[in-house]
């Protein structure tokens, strides 16, 4: 029936495509689909003590454009704001032209905020890495690696939560690849391969990944098409309205890998959810006259220093060892 997803469809798919796990289908269903949906509320409540004690935590998003990564990240940012975190949203166009200038503006906001708690949402930095110099890309990676120490300069201590949004696992900065929480938004074949890099080499985990992959592959196709979905999971019947712009419905279904556990993740709009664009520090290119004035002042400063050196040095010094 159009718009319906049944648990027996999933199990039949597993029987045909994964004959080696026929005897374990019941166990897989029990492990994956009992109380199936993980939510931002659950994950955030679980990670908050780690942010507070370790002073750093990262949630990494992976998936193609248009599958709700930013929409989902806004839910976590909303939870962070409600706990007193300053929220800062950034895209590549905001950071790469002037990283030091952007950091300075964030520090100013942090001082104004008055609390050493900050939530960064870095959105699709990887899409712009091909258009910037390798030097600029390296600076950003070094900044990510040293971020906590950079912002400790403001208060002497800092609590940082990072939501990093990327299209592929390999595009995530090296420091964030050991994130304890990952969310796969689109669950396409490439996402499945990326997820395989994270899970332990255990048959049970691979079976769970395969089951979720088959289910979400179907759901993410039928969701935008039919909007209103019906499916049965673990003996429970669900009516699910696929969210879209202007109508959040019941949200989207994704996959989470949180602290070693694979689950179906329900990314849904929270009450009072913020618009990330309202928390963006946009890069403003300097005016041409300002650039000329800065160059003039720089030239004058260099000339002044050279003059001071010449006036304060022994004249005979310049005649030695020409």
Write the CATH number for 173. Answer: 3.40.50.300
CA-to-CA distance for 96 and 135, rounded, in angstroms? Answer: 10
In a domain, 286, yes or no: no
Burial of 252 from C-beta contacts in 10 A (0-12 / 13-18 / 19+): buried
Do 181 and 314 lie in a common domain? no
**CA proximity to 187, closest of 210, 163, 164, 204:** 210
pLDDT on residue 109 = 96
Do 121 and 248 lie in a common domain? yes
Do 303 and 163 lie in a common domain? no
pLDDT on residue 16 = 45
pLDDT on residue 35 = 55
**CA proximity to 216, closest of 75, 67, 72:** 67
Burial 55-91 (b: 16+ CB within 10 A, else e): bebbbbbbbeeebbbbbbbbbbbbbbbebebbbbbbb
The full length of the chain comes to 322
Do 30 and 117 lie in a common domain? yes
Do 210 and 313 lie in a common domain? no
pLDDT on residue 160 = 96
In a domain, 127, yes or no: yes
Do 299 and 213 lie in a common domain? no
Do 130 and 185 lie in a common domain? yes
| Containing structural domain, residue 315 | 291-319
Assessment of whether the complete model's pTM goes beyond 0.75: yes
pLDDT on residue 315 = 56
Per-residue pLDDT of the chain (322 residues), as tens digits, is 334 444 444 545 444 444 444 444 444 444 444 556 899 999 999 999 999 999 999 999 998 888 899 999 999 999 999 999 999 999 988 988 889 999 999 999 999 999 999 999 999 776 554 556 677 778 888 888 889 999 999 999 999 999 999 988 888 888 888 889 999 998 888 999 999 988 877 788 888 899 899 989 888 888 888 999 888 776 777 888 999 888 999 999 999 999 989 999 999 999 999 999 999 999 888 766 655 666 677 777 777 778 777 776 655 554 555 5
By DSSP bridging, strand 252-258 and strand 181-184 are antiparallel
Q: How many domains does the chain have?
A: 2
Do 43 and 131 lie in a common domain? yes
The alpha carbon torsion through 161, 243, 92, 64 (nearest 10 deg) reads 100
CA-to-CA distance for 176 and 57, rounded, in angstroms? Answer: 9
By DSSP bridging, strand 228-233 and strand 236-241 are antiparallel
CA-to-CA distance for 116 and 85, rounded, in angstroms? Answer: 8
Strand partners, 38: 265
SS3 83: coil
Using an 8 Å Cβ cutoff, are 176 and 140 in contact? no
CA–centroid distance for 184 within its chain:
11
Do 67 and 115 lie in a common domain? yes
In a domain, 285, yes or no: no
Quickly count: other Cβ atoms within 10 Å of residue 38's Cβ.
22
């Amino acid at each position: 029936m159009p718009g319906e997803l049944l648990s027996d469809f999933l199990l039949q798919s597993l029987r045909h495509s994964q004959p080696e796990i026929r005897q374990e289908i019941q166990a897989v269903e029990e492990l994956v689909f009992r109380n199936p949906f993980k939510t931002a509320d659950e994950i955030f409540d679980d990670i908050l003590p780690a942010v507070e004690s370790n002073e750093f935590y990262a949630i990494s998003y992976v998936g193609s454009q248009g599958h709700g990564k930013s929409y989902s990240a806004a839910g976590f940012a909303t939870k962070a704001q409600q706990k007193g975190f300053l929220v800062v949203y950034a895209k590549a166009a905001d950071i790469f032209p002037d990283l030091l200038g952007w950091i300075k503006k964030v520090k100013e906001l942090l001082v104004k905020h008055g609390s050493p708690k900050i939530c960064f949402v870095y959105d699709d930095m990887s899409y712009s890495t091909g258009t910037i110099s390798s030097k600029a890309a390296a600076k950003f990676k070094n900044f990510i690696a040293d971020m906590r120490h950079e912002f400790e300069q403001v208060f002497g201590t800092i609590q940082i939560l990072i939501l990093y949004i990327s299209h592929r696992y390999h595009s995530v900065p090296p420091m964030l690849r050991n994130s304890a929480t990952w969310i796969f938004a689109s669950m396409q074949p490439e996402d499945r391969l990326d997820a395989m890099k994270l899970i332990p080499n255990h048959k049970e985990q691979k079976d769970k990944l395969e089951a979720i992959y088959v289910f979400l592959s179907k759901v993410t196709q039928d969701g935008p098409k039919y909007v209103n979905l019906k499916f049965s999971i673990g003996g429970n019947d669900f009516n699910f309205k696929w969210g879209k712009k202007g109508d959040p419905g019941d949200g989207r279904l994704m996959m989470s890998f949180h602290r070693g556990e694979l689950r179906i993740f329900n990314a849904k709009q929270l009450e009072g959810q913020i618009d990330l664009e309202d928390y963006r520090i946009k890069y403003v290119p300097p005016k041409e006259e300002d650039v000329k004035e800065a160059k003039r002042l720089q030239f004058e400063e260099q000339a002044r220093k050279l003059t001071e050196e010449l006036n304060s040095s022994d004249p005979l010094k310049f005649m030695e060892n020409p």
